[in-house]
Amino acid sequence: MTETVPVTPDEPLTFGQALAAEMGHLERMARYYTSDAVDAEDLIQDTVLLALRFSDSYQAGSNLRAWLQRVMRNRHVSILRRKNLESRVLKAEAYHAVPEWSIGEMSRKTTRIKGRTDLSTGLSAPLMRAIGRLRPEFREVLLICDVEGLSYADAAERVGRPIGTIMSRLHRGRRALRIQIGHSRHLEAA
């Protein structure tokens, strides 16, 4: 639990001391929001980290408890939004409603058309060059999801990032690849 720090009446509390004094309230609030002990601990940790990171935006003499409540509430809402998005994505994957534009489909098209392909991936040489020009984090997720065919959840586990990050990197990687290669009519010529 929290430890009380003795302070003389003349000496004002530091931000860390004031934060420590509010931990009991944060614990109660987190349990109220999450109704789960583990999730509550995570929410408290996130709140304290955010409070420490943005402690310079806290104005001394103002209501620290209200400020911390706002930080925790905003963090909790962000977590709920992320979970909702992840749930929708996983549900979409279950129904095979994954984005229609993928390298896996492109590689099948290019192998049917005349041209050389890389035997290890089955991708055409122009496509491999375009993929090689992508930023490493986009290239990694693109190859994992589109070439290997892993789901967002499996890719997130392999890369060690949240599903939302995987989705974002895949979207941005695909967009960058589309720009490099051109529209689908140019792809047929590749």
SS (H, E, C) 43-97: HHHHHHHHHHHCHHHCCCCCCHHHHHHHHHHHHHHHHHHHHHHHHHHHHHHHCCC
Domain over 103-189 is classified CATH 1.10.10.10: yes
Q: How far apart are CA 103 and CA 91, in angstroms?
A: 22
Return mean pLDDT, the chain.
76
- The band of 57, judged by pLDDT with boundaries at 50, 70 and 90, is confident
Residue 186 predicted with pLDDT over 90: no
Q: Which two tokens stand for residue 3?
A: 């430890």
Place of tokens 């090689």: 132
Residue 154 predicted with pLDDT over 70: yes
Question: How do the domains of the chain map onto residue ranges?
Answer: 15-94, 103-189
Residue 15 predicted with pLDDT over 90: no
- The SS3 of residue 189 is helix
Average pLDDT over residues 182-189: 51
Q: Is 39 exposed, middle or buried (0-12, 13-18, 19+ CB in 10 A)?
A: middle
| Tens of pLDDT, residues 165-183 | 888 888 888 888 877 776 4
pLDDT of residue 183: 46
- The band of 110, judged by pLDDT with boundaries at 50, 70 and 90, is very low
Would you identify the CATH topology of the domain 15-94?
Answer: Rna Polymerase Sigma Factor; Chain: A (1.10.1740)
Q: Do the beta carbons of residue 164 and residue 157 sit within 8 Å? A: no
pLDDT of residue 5: 52
Q: Is the pTM of this model over 0.85?
A: no
| Tens of pLDDT, residues 72-89 | 999 999 888 888 877 776
pLDDT of residue 89: 67
Q: How far apart are CA 146 and CA 167, in angstroms?
A: 12
Residue 131 predicted with pLDDT over 50: yes
pLDDT of residue 117: 44
Q: How far apart are CA 134 and CA 129, in angstroms?
A: 9
Average pLDDT over residues 109-122: 47
Q: How many CB atoms lie within 10 A of CB 168?
A: 15
| Tens of pLDDT, residues 92-107 | 655 543 344 455 554 4
